[in-house]
Structures are given as C-alpha cells and as structure tokens.
Chains A and B, each alone.
Chain A
Amino acid sequence: MDDHLTPAEERDALAAELALGLLEGQARADALRLSLSDPAFAALVAAWEAKLAPLHGEWADAQPGAAVWSGIERQLADAPADKVTAIETRLRRWRTGALLSGAVAAALALVLITRPVPTPAPAAPQLAVARIESDAAGPLVLARYNQSNGLMQLRIHGFEPGALAPELWVIPEGGTPVSLGQIGHAGEAEMTMPPPHRLLMTEGATLAITMEPVSKTPHPAPSGAAVASGKIITI
C-alpha cells in the first residue's frame, strides 16, 4: 500500500475531504480555517465540488412541507427592501438562520491574526482571520476580514438552538463594546463593515461574542459576559 503523498497531494486530498464533508472536530475546524485564510486552498475545495457536481443528478426528490416557504417569507420580511439602508440590511442578514442560537459553554478562545496577503497584486488586502471555538466537538466560528474593502465573512458551526443568539462585538482599546449584529447559530454570513466600524478593527481592539435575546437590530450594549473574546494582533 502506497500512501506516501507529496505535500501538494496531501493538500489536494485535504481539499477533497473538506468538499466531501468527511472531516469532523478539530480536523474540520483546521481545514475550514485554511479555506478562509488561503484563497488557493479555497479554490481547490471549489474545484472538488465542481468535479463531484454530476452526482447531484442522483438525489431522490422529496416534497417539503408548506411551512418551509412561509418560514422563508417570514425571514425575508425581517429584512428591509430599501437598498438605501443596505448597511442595516447586511447587519440584519448576519442572522442567517431560522434557528436561533442558545447558550454556549463558556471560556471560548479567540485568536485573530492580521497579515498581508503574500502577493504583489495591487492593493494587496490585509486579511484578518479569526477562529473561535470551545473544544473539538463544540461551537466554532471562523472569520475572515479584509481590511482593504471592509468585507467580513463568517462561518458558524455548532451553536445550540435556544432563546439566545450569538452577537458579535468589537471593543476598542479602553472603549465600550460596539455591536456588529447577531450571527446565526450555523451557516455562513458576510457583511461589509460600515466605515465607522472599520476604524475599530485595529491592533489592540477586542472581538467578542455574547449571547443575547434575538433582535433585528444590534443591541446598544451586551447584557452578559463574553463567551468568546480575543485581541486583534497584527503580525
């Protein structure tokens, strides 16, 4: 049996494993983080999704209940149609799921790394990658922040449904928390940070998650202790 793979083959196999969904726990967390921080790896994952795409012709159809569409409509009704309030819309869209988040085990750790992308492309963006998790089996949030255009992308896993939803805050050094809106209990979310908020994403500032009552608008202040927090570090 020959299982000695070159580093490039290992990387491609990892991309395939992530695309197929074979990984779990820490291995899945690490691969997801890599796909957020490394566009070339993300492209490998997408290429595997495309290779396997013909299999999508084989699923057996099934009819969902009528409640699914009414639930979708209800969620869309929460979002203002007015494009002028786009920033607020994006904040609201952070609540990606119909399912609401619940209490999370305390003492999560957050690591945030800011680094320039190693390409000579014009206006090379500064990327920040954050990872928030409790343990290999618990909740996990992966975040990617592009300082050049203010785009924040999140992948959220494993928050348990309940009455409370996770809300993301940025806390300037020596300042008070500013809400970036609630995030879903699972799935993906992205937003363009409003310029005032971008100014807060600097070295020494803290990102934190608290569990808050569900709200369509960001809360003025957190109601409890952070379940996850960490300082922004530029390297």
Chain B
Amino acid sequence: MGHDAGVRRLNIPVISLRLDGVDGTQWSSGADEARAQLTAALTAVGRGDRAALRRVYDMTAAKLFGICLRICGERASAEDVLQTVYIKVWERAGQFDAARASPITWLATIARNGAIDWRRSVAGRTVRDTLPEQAAFAVADDSPLADQSLVAAEEGERLHHCLDELEERSRASIRAAFFDGSTYAELAERENVPLGTMKSWIRRGLLRLKDCLGDG
C-alpha cells in the first residue's frame, strides 16, 4: 500500500506503563513518596473511603484543574468539569490498577477526557464561542515545565525524544491537540491550511511517533 519498508509491526496493543517502583531510580525519593501516597489514597477511594478522596483531591486538584482550565478556557466551566472529574474518580477508583498505570496519569487522563467531552458538547461549544481567540499554538509549544514529580521522567524523555524527531508542523499540531483539546478543524483554521493537510500532518506524525516509541 505505498510503503516499501516491508511489513509494519502491528503488535497487539498493551498499556505500556511500567510497574510502579520497578525502575524508579530516576525519581527523587520525595517523588517516590508522593506517588506512593497518592497510590495508597486512590486505592482507599476504591474501597469507598471518602476521607481518602479528600486526600486525593488535596494532592491533585491543582494539577487536574490546570488541565481543565487550559482545555475549557474559562474558570467557571473548568470548575464544573473538575467537580465531575472527582465524582468519576470516586466511581471508578476501584478499577485503578497500580500495576498498570501511575496514579497521576490515570487521574490526568480522566480530567483531560472530561474537559474534552465538555468542549465537544453543545454547552462547551456555546461557551467557547464567546471566548476571545487565544494564541494557543505559542502556549502549546512552550518548553516543558519542571513539574515531573508525579510523572515518570524516563518515559517523558523517550516521548520527547520521539516528538523531537518529527517535523516541526507535526509536532506543534500534536502538542496543540493534546494541550488545547483542539479538533482537526480548529487546528487547520489556526494554521490556515486545508483540513486534509492538517490531518495528514498529524496522522503521519502520530504513526512515526509510534514507530519511534516502539510497542514494547
């Protein structure tokens, strides 16, 4: 089908996050401790411990609100979404498996998906239409912040290396999609390119990213 690179690897997908603590040598002991505390609190939430939900909230609300605020674009909606995010956490904590995902990744994914659900909803689109246009591309490609305390540093380095291997336009578009929750149409409009061009940049970038990361 146009590829001359021979057979592409099409492995069965698996969650590729590492076991907690197995090779945590790159984390400071403080980060280890924070992660262990969060894992313990989340596990307790899974048993129906409401006090533990408060502990999870105290440890993570600033981060998860940062996600909601960035994607929703204004505080009131972001706070509404954040509330639904922690209710979801309460309901789903029993499904959290510390052997498969880090607690902060699990929580951040719920928050990001919740914020994107809101943006794609009628209410979200209505609110967003009233917001001033933001220079989101510039923000999206800011250099990484130092807050890695709850995220495995080694995996971050690998992903960033692979992102750096992509063409600039693919990398910038993928990052904008992740951090702004933008659609293809929004990205195409922002970059002033046809929709098909934007899709092509991102799809090729994503498949190259996957090749670079490997499936292991």
A binding-site residues for B, Cβ under 8 Å: 1-6, 8-9, 12-13, 16-17, 20-24, 28, 40, 43-44, 46-65, 67-69, 71-72, 75-76, 81, 83, 93, 96-99, 137-139, 157-161, 184-190
Contacts and interface: CB of A to CB of B under 8 A. Distances in A.
A62 B69 contact: yes
Contacts of A46: 13, 15
B98 interface: no
Given A97-B84, A139-B122, A61 B63 contact: yes
B1 A4 contact: yes
Interface of B: 1-3, 8, 10, 12-17, 48, 50, 53-54, 57, 61-63, 65-67, 69-70, 75, 78-80, 82-84, 86-88, 90-91, 101-102, 104-105, 108-109, 112-114, 116-123, 125, 144-145, 147-148, 150-152, 155-156, 158-160, 174-175, 177-179, 181-185, 187, 200, 202-204, 206-207, 209-210, 213
Nearest to A134: B122
A82 B72 CA distance: 36
Contacts of B83: 68, 71-72, 75, 98
A28 B120 contact: yes
Given A9-B207, A13-B206, A69-B57, A54 B184 contact: no
Contacts of B114: 187
B108 A60 contact: no
Given A53-B151, A57-B147, A157 B120 contact: yes
Contacts of B65: 61-64, 68
Contacts of B123: 99, 158, 160-161, 185-186
Given A53-B151, A61-B66, A21 B177 contact: yes
B79 A67 contact: yes
A75 B80 CA distance: 12
A58 B151 CA distance: 10
A44 B13 contact: yes
A2 B2 contact: yes
Contacts of A24: 120, 183-185
Contact of A75 (B12, B87, B144): B87
15 contacts: A2-B2, A3-B203, A5-B203, A17-B206, A24-B185, A40-B13, A47-B16, A51-B213, A53-B155, A54-B159, A55-B179, A59-B67, A61-B63, A137-B125, A158-B123
A83 B84 CA distance: 22
A96 B87 contact: yes
B120 A158 contact: yes
Nearest to B182: A22
Given A64-B62, A137-B125, 7 more contacts: A17-B184, A20-B178, A51-B16, A53-B105, A56-B108, A157-B121, A159-B121
A184 B121 CA distance: 13
B122 A160 contact: yes
Given A4-B2, A47-B13, A54-B155, A76 B90 contact: yes
Given A9-B207, A22-B184, A24-B185, A1 B200 contact: yes
